[in-house]
Amino acid sequence: MKDRLVIVIGGGGFLGRYVTQELLKAGARIRIAQRDPREALFLKPLGGLRQIQFVAADVGKPETIARAVAGADAVVNLAGSFSNLEAVLVTGARTVAQAAAAAGVASLVHVSAIGADPESPAAYGRAKAAGEAAVQAAFPAATILRPSIIFGREDQFVNRFAAMISALSSVPFAPVPVLRAGTRFQPVYVTDVAQAVVAALADPGAAGKLFELGGPDVLSMGALIRWVAQAIGRDPAILEFPDAVGGLIAFGGFLPGAPITRDQWRMLARDTVVTGTDGLTALGVTPTPMDAVAPAWLVRYRRHGRFGRRAAA
């Protein structure tokens, strides 16, 4: 990867900042492309002189993507959305792949998600699958990565649950509500996903292949909530809603302390786990357990911060 120019679309986002750091370690030159490049300027001190460039680009504006990928050796597409599904996940993905092909880019990594399926009950899953198909049609040698739920210091998954548990623990007789308690997840560490991206770019054998990425822990939603509670030193009452009640809450638009949309409810109808060969191992990345890293940043949700104790297992 040394001295190769890699375009990271969405490089200032949660996953993007970690992909950028791993590319910098590998000696690559990086051009971060996103709608407002100022949101990614915090990454500039991490690189050497002129190692990082910033450019304004929007997957909804093909001419900006064409300019962003000009002269690139590789492209990483991290653009995502939970609202503008068709525009970002399908049309936007196609725009990136077509621009990369037209520019003669050697490698393209498209980050999708486990759950991408044209038959998914959720619009998000169907859009992810359509985006993958669009990318493969425009750039057959693209590598598709499907991570499970990604966790890390800045995530909106484990942190959301920790914040909810912390808030409800201070309210007398307030249980922690859990929807779809039996749905299974295989949370994957954000740094592992970033290393998989770099490994896929560096390995010609990864071209045209699809890899599902999951961590070493497989947990049900109920078990995950209990793990988070234990990690932040809390011992709340847990209330697992039956699906009949959970569906009414989801279709009402919210759950106190833990908003959930109708489409997220539909996504929770299926497990988010690797179905075949583990992609991390195939790409030479050792999966990181949640317990090895997450407690380091979850301390802020303990009653006495880092001076608090984890609850007994």
User: DSSP secondary structure string, 117-159?
Assistant: -TT-SSHHHHHHHHHHHHHHHH-TTPEEEEE-SEESTT-SSHH
Provide the domain limits for residue 226: 158-185+217-271+286-307
Say which amino acid occupies 112.
S
Specify whether 67 is located in the same domain as 137: yes
Q: What are phi and psi of 217, to 5 degrees?
A: -105, 130
Specify whether 63 is located in the same domain as 30: yes
Domain count, the chain: 2
**Average pLDDT per run of 10 along the chain, which is 313 residues long?**
94 95 95 94 88 95 97 96 91 97 97 95 95 98 97 94 91 86 95 98 96 96 94 91 76 54 84 92 96 95 70 54
Question: Which pTM does this prediction carry?
Answer: 0.92
pLDDT at 258: 44
- Over the stretch 135-158, which tens digit does the pLDDT of each residue have? 999 999 999 999 999 999 999 999
Last residue of a domain, one of 147, 173, 205: 147
Specify whether 106 is located in the same domain as 180: no
Specify whether 140 is located in the same domain as 169: no
Say which amino acid occupies 38.
R
Specify whether 46 is located in the same domain as 94: yes
Question: How much is the mean pLDDT over the chain?
Answer: 91
In a domain, 17, yes or no: yes
Specify whether 115 is located in the same domain as 177: no
In a domain, 241, yes or no: yes
pLDDT at 14: 95
In a domain, 312, yes or no: no
Specify whether 77 is located in the same domain as 125: yes
In a domain, 202, yes or no: no
In a domain, 180, yes or no: yes
CA distance 62 to 174: 50
Specify whether 68 is located in the same domain as 91: yes
CB atoms within 10 A of CB 88: 21
Apex CA 80: angle with CA 122 and CA 3, to 5°?
A: 145
Specify whether 25 is located in the same domain as 129: yes
Specify whether 176 is located in the same domain as 300: yes
Distances (CA, A) of 168 to 163, 165, 177: 9, 5, 10
SS3 call for 197: helix
